[in-house]
Amino acid sequence: MTMRSSSETASLLDGLRAFIEPAHLRTDADSCLQYGRDWTRLYSPNPLAVALPGSIEQVQQLVIFANHHRLALVPSGGRTGLSGAAVACNGELVVSLERMNRILEFDPVDRSVTCQAGTITEALQNFARDQGLSYPVDFASRGSSQIGGNIATNAGGIKVVRYGLTRDWVTGLKVITGRGDRLDLNRGLIKNASGYDLRHLFVGSEGTLGIIVEATLQLTRPLREPSVMVLGVPNLSGIMAIYGLLRSKLDLSAFEFFSELALRHVLKKGPHRPFDSATPYYVLAEFENPGDIQTDEALELFEHCAEQGWLADGVISQSGNQAKELWRLREDISESIAEHQPYKNDIAVRISRVPALLEEIDGLLAREYPDFEVLWYGHIGDGNLHINILKPATMEPAIFAKKCGAVSPHLFAALQRHGGSISAEHGVGLTKKPYLHYTRDESEVNYLRAIKQAFDPNGIMNPGKLFD
């Protein structure tokens, strides 16, 4: 915790006001609360203030000032993160990019768009659609997450099986490094074999190397009329068998799963069951199906899976609206369980290792969490599982966190044996920092530290996140 006297605080704020207009330097309790936390809600926000710069020059001035005064900065996007990477609990200055939310340039020949880092994901998607193209990285927080934050966490989401991660769409970045230098990285080039690609260091850097101020992103053609199937699956083992078959025949754009226990929380908020019978697990598969050209094939595959005993029931969307309704069953899970303050896991293994991992951790979780509600869901087609443990209503949050924390080493040891990662798409932040060594060995982390040192020698960029 940074301890400052009130005169030190006053002089820092005075110094900042010399180049940030008073309206864009907020110190009121509500702003400090809102901008000092993300969706984890596990930490008590306590920032010095919230700065809302309006230009690259102002961001650069802020970083230079912060170096001079050894003031820690927390870059802030839509704060929809789930790992505490964007929280400010130690007197840091939050630097919100939300005023820098303009789309600056579109090039139809390059099929690329350049926008400021505070652009909302959905605004970019809508812009792309208006040009007859698409920005295909997509997730439930599209309405409030920002492009800069997506890049800083290498956001994944629901279309990764087809379109990859945020990283795959970033062709240029303007950044202010932790030293206060302005870099213009890769400039929208598709090919550029001129040495180390610093752009990719900033993707997934969680605000620890500098501040992303502008991004150039590749666009692509829109998905052709998708159909969505939801299938009821009796056993975990059936899920990957179904995946193997569907992906060999259909043009899949998503392959997700969720458990009946997870579904029940969504149903409480309004949506209806996809079909009458309940099964322990469900698969949601989306595929391109213009003019219903793949419907017969999909139905044949359905029959085959049923004959094998992999699925018990299923439904296929008949319209765009029905497809959206089916998506809600999966996309609304996270929000519908938030009131239960879940302990979150966001793990990944190679697709080929998913069946073995599922078998191992299914047993482990049943043994270790006999009294807790354990919810399974996630982007299983990418090897990414979100396993959420719900806090019993009467249990103290600290006791719950301790009990869950005691299980994590077993889960992560299993993951390590399968060559997996402790975070697939949510990032390390604060919540997963103690477990980084299960995924990155010591010599690798030393290289990460050396890179951090090169970009941020005074350690002002989001200190305490990712690693110490």
Which parts of 372-391 interact with ligand 2HG (CB under 6 A)? 386, 388
The pair of three-digit structure tokens given for residue 85, joined into one six-digit string = 């990477």
Convert residues 345-364 into a mask of x (bound to ligand 2HG by CB under 6 A) and - (unbound): --------------------
User: Does 64 sit near ligand 2HG (CB under 6 A)?
Assistant: no
Q: How far is the CB of 391 from ligand 2HG (least distance, A)?
A: 14
Between CA 435 and CA 440 the distance in angstroms is 9
- Cα atoms in the Cβ-side hemisphere of radius 13 Å centred on 335: 13
Does position 344 interact with ligand 2HG (CB under 6 A)? The reply is yes
d(CA 175, CA 166): 17
The C-alpha atoms of residue 174 and residue 184 are separated, in whole angstroms, by 5
Place of tokens 């003031």: 71
- Report how far Cα 313 is from the mean position of its chain's Cα atoms: 31
- Minimum Å distance from CB 219 to ligand 2HG? 23
Q: Which is nearer to ligand 2HG, 66 or 354 (CB)?
A: 354
Helical axes 56-69 vs 6-17, angle rounded to 10°: 150
Query: What is the nearest approach in angstroms of ligand 2HG to the Cβ of residue 227?
Result: 21
| 423 lies in the site for ligand 2HG, by CB under 6 A | no
Taking the complex as a whole, the smallest distance from the CB of residue 263 to ligand 2HG amounts, in Å, to 13
Nearer to ligand 2HG, 93 or 428 (CB): 428
Footprint (CB under 6 A) of ligand 2HG, residues 137-166:
140
> Which residues, 388 to 407, sit near ligand 2HG by CB under 6 A?
388
Q: What is the DSSP string of 286-354?
A: EEE-GGGTTHHHHHHHHHHHHHTTS-SEEEE-SSHHHHHHHHHHHHTHHHHHGGG-PEEEEEE--GGGH
**Measured between alpha carbons, how far is 111 from 88 in angstroms, rounded to an integer?**
37
Cβ closest to ligand 2HG, residue 26 vs residue 386: 386
Residue 458 CA: distances (Å) to CA of 47, 178, 191, 255: 19, 8, 34, 44
Q: How far apart are the first and last CA of the chain?
A: 14
- Measured from the CB atom, the residue of 65 and 255 that comes closer to ligand 2HG is 255
Q: Report phi then psi at 373, rounded to 5.
A: -80, 120
418 touching ligand 2HG, by CB under 6 A: no
Note whether 334 binds ligand 2HG by CB under 6 A: yes
Site string for ligand 2HG, 97-136 (x = CB under 6 A): ----------------------------------------
Residues that bind ligand 2HG (CB under 6 A): 140, 333-334, 344, 386, 388
